[in-house]
Structure 1
Amino acid sequence: MIRKNLSMGRRHGWLPFALFVAALLLPLAGCDKRADALIEIGGPTMGTYYSVKIARPPASMTAETLKPDVEVVLDQVIAEISTYDETSELSRLNRNPSTDWIPISSNLYDVIAEGQRIALLTDGAFDITIGPLVNLWGFGPEQRPDALPSSEEIQVARARVGWQKLDVRATPPAVRKARADLYIDLSALGEGVGADRVSALLEARGVADYMIAVAGAIRAKGRNAKGQPWAIAIEEPMPDLRSVHRVIPVSDRALSTSGDYRNFFERDGKRYSHEIDPMTGAPVERNLGSVTVIGESGMVVDGLATALMVMGEARGQAFAEARGLAAFFIVREGETLRGFGTPAFQGYLDR
C-alpha cells in the first residue's frame, strides 16, 4: 500500500513531483495574460505541495484573501488524519488502547469508513491498518532503520495488520479495534481528502471553474481561462527524470496518480518502494510504475490508485475493467515505458 506523507513539511519525499506538476499545470492550463482571468495560489502542505487555480473568479475573490482560507482547510485535514502530528485526532486514536467503541469526529469517520469500503472492494489490497508495516520499513514518522526488517519482525507487524480487525459505526460515529495496538494509517487517502475539502470550500463560494492539486490528487471543475478543459499531465514514472507521458483534458472530475518512483530507498543495490503489500508485509516488486484513476471523489480515486498499484498491472487492469473504472497504467518494459488505459479511460486519451 502506498504511503503518502501527511507530515506538514517534516518530510518532502513528494515535493519535487508536486512542484513539477505545479509547473506543468501553468502552461497546460492555457491561461491568458489578463490579471483578472486567473487566480493562482500554492504552498507546502502534508509534506508536499498544493496548487489552486481559479478561472473567472468571483469579483470579490483575491489570491491574498483565498490563500489563508485554503490553508486553514488543509491544516484541518492534517489535524484530523496525520500520523506525523502527535496531537492529531488519528494519532490520539492510535494511542488509545481501548477495544470498546471509541467516539470519533464525523470527518474522521468519513475517511475511515471510505478506507474500509475500499478494503472490502479490493479484498484487502488497500488496508488502512497497514501502519505497523509502513513504520517497520521506514516509510512512516519513525526514523528509517539501518538494517532491513527480519522475517520475524515482519510477521510480528503483520499480526497487527488487517482491515477486518477494525469495526466502524456511523451513528454516533465511532470505531472499535480488535487489538489494542491496532494502528490506522490514512495517508493513502489524505491528498484526495485535501483536494475534496478545498473543492467544497470553493464551491461554497460560488467558484465554477477551478483546478486543485494536492501532490498527485487533483480536482478539476469547469474550464480554464481559455474556456477549455483543464489539461493535466501524467508524469513518466522515472526516478531521475521529469518528463510528461501523456496530457489529458479533465473537467468536473477528480484524478489521482500513485507511483513507486519518488519514495523509495536502496540497500545493496536493490530498490525498496513505499508500496507495501499487506499480504506479504514487504514492498511490492513489479514492473508497474504508476496508475492514474479518474472519478468523482478525490478521496476515492486516491485510494483506488493505491490499490491498483499494489495489485499490479495484470490483476489491477482486470479489477478496474470489471468495475468500469477509468484507470491508466504505465508499465516498465526494459528500457521503455508502455502506457495503456481501461475502456472507461479511453475517452480521455481520444480527446
Structure 2
Amino acid sequence: MGTYYSVKVARPPAGLSAETLRLQVESALDQVIGEISTYEPTSELSRLNRDSSTDWIPISPNLHAVIAEGQRIAALSDGAFDITIGPLVNLWGFGPEARPDELPTQEAIQAARARVGWRKLELRASPPAVRKARGDLYIDLSALGEGVGADRVATELETQGVGDYMVAVAGTIRAKGRNAKDQPWAIAIEEPLPDQRSVHRLVPVSDRAISTSGDYRNFFVKDGKRYSHEIDPGTGAPIERHLGSATVVGERAMVVDGLATAFMVLGEQRGPALATDQGLAAYFIVREGETLRGFGSPAFEDYLTRSRQP
C-alpha cells in the first residue's frame, strides 16, 4: 500500500504471543492489499482497472463495500472526493509509478480529467459488480485504503480476544479500550508543518477511529512551488488551500479516512460547513500567515466533552 502500520496491544489475552499476533495482522493486511492496492499488479482492483469492458464486471463483496463507501462520500461532498481520480494522481506522480521530472501540461491534465468522474462508475449490490461508462476508467481507493486496513486489523484483533488496542495505518487509527496506563488512547494531531513533527493537540480515542489528512507530508517542490498529493477533481491539479489538515473522528476507520480527504479538497470554508451540516466530528487547522488556527466542528467539541466524562 506504499505506507506503514503500527499495532499496540495492552493486556493481551493469555497465550497470545506477539509473533502470532504479528503474523495474523500481516495476513489481514495482505488480504486488503490483494483486494484494493494499486501498487500490487495482481490485486483485484488492479485487474479491474485493466479491464476495458463497459459491461457489468463482477467484483468481490469486500471490494464492493469499499467502492460503495467511496461513492457515498463522493455524493456527500459533491464530487470533491472521487475514487476515479487515479489518472490525475498518477499524472502528478503520486501513484505507484515514478514521478516525472516535469509538471504535466494543461493538455495532459485535460486528457486525464476526461477519464475522471464518480458518476461514470455504476455499482450493483447483488450480485456485486461495477460498470464503467468508459473502458479506461481507473479507480484509486488510496484515500480509503488506510482505513480499510485499520478496520480489518481491528476485526482480527477482536477475533483473537484483544480488547485494548491501537491500530495505525499511516494517518488513520482505530482504537479500542484503554492503553497500558489504563487511560484512553491519546492520539496526537500534528502541526501541519512539512519540516518538523510537533504536536498541535492530543485527542482521547477509545472505541473510535480517527484520521488526519494534510498537505504537509506527501508533496514535492518544483520551481519553488509546493504541490500536494491532494488532487482537486474540479481543476485536475493539487489543491491550493489555507487548510493545512483535517481530522475526523467516527466509528469506522474507512469512513473517517475518506471524509478527512474530502474535507481537505473542500477547503477551509466548505469543509467545516459540511461537517457542521452533517453532524460530523471534525477538527481543522488553517494557516493564517505565519500562524496556525485550529477549530472543531460542534460534533467534535461534543465528542471531547463526552470523552472527558468519567
Q: TM-score range by the shorter chain?
A: over 0.9
Q: Which of 53, 57, 75 is the aligned partner of 1:98? A: 53
Aligned pairs for 1:1-351 within 5 A: 6=1, 47-349=2-304, 351=308
Q: Deviation at 1:52?
A: 1.0
Give the Cα separation in 1 of the matches to 2:121 and 2:289. 41
Secondary structure in structure 2 of the residue aligned to 1:312: helix
| C-alpha RMSD of matched pairs (Å) | 1.0
Quick check: 1:275–1:284 contact (8 Å CA) kept in 2?
Answer: yes
Give the Cα separation in 2 of the matches to 1:65 and 1:271. 43
Cα offsets for 1:47-68 (capped at 9, x unmatched): 2221111111111211111001
Structure 1 residue ranges without an equivalent (≥5): 1-5, 7-46
Give the Cα separation in 2 of the matches to 1:149 and 1:51. 35
Quick check: 1:249–1:348 contact (8 Å CA) kept in 2?
Answer: no
- Percent of counterpart pairs with the same letter? 78
Give the Cα separation in 2 of the matches to 1:214 and 1:146. 29
Q: Deviation at 1:226?
A: 2.1
Structure 2 residue ranges without an equivalent (≥5): none
Letter of the 1:273 partner, please give it.
S
How many residues are matched? 306
Cα offsets for 1:258-316 (capped at 9, x unmatched): 00001111111111111100011011101111110000110000000000000001110
Q: Which runs of 4+ in 1 moved over 3 A?
A: 347-351
Q: Deviation at 1:83?
A: 0.8
Higher deviation after alignment, 57-66 or 123-132 = 57-66
Q: Deviation at 1:348?
A: 4.8
Give the Cα separation in 2 of the matches to 1:265 and 1:225. 38
Letter of the 2:208 partner, please give it.
R
Q: Deviation at 1:76?
A: 1.1
Quick check: 1:248–1:348 contact (8 Å CA) kept in 2?
Answer: no
TM-score by length of 1: 0.86
Give the Cα separation in 2 of the matches to 1:240 and 1:82. 29
Cα offsets for 1:86-136 (capped at 9, x unmatched): 111100000001100001111111111111111111110100000011111
Q: Deviation at 1:142?
A: 2.0
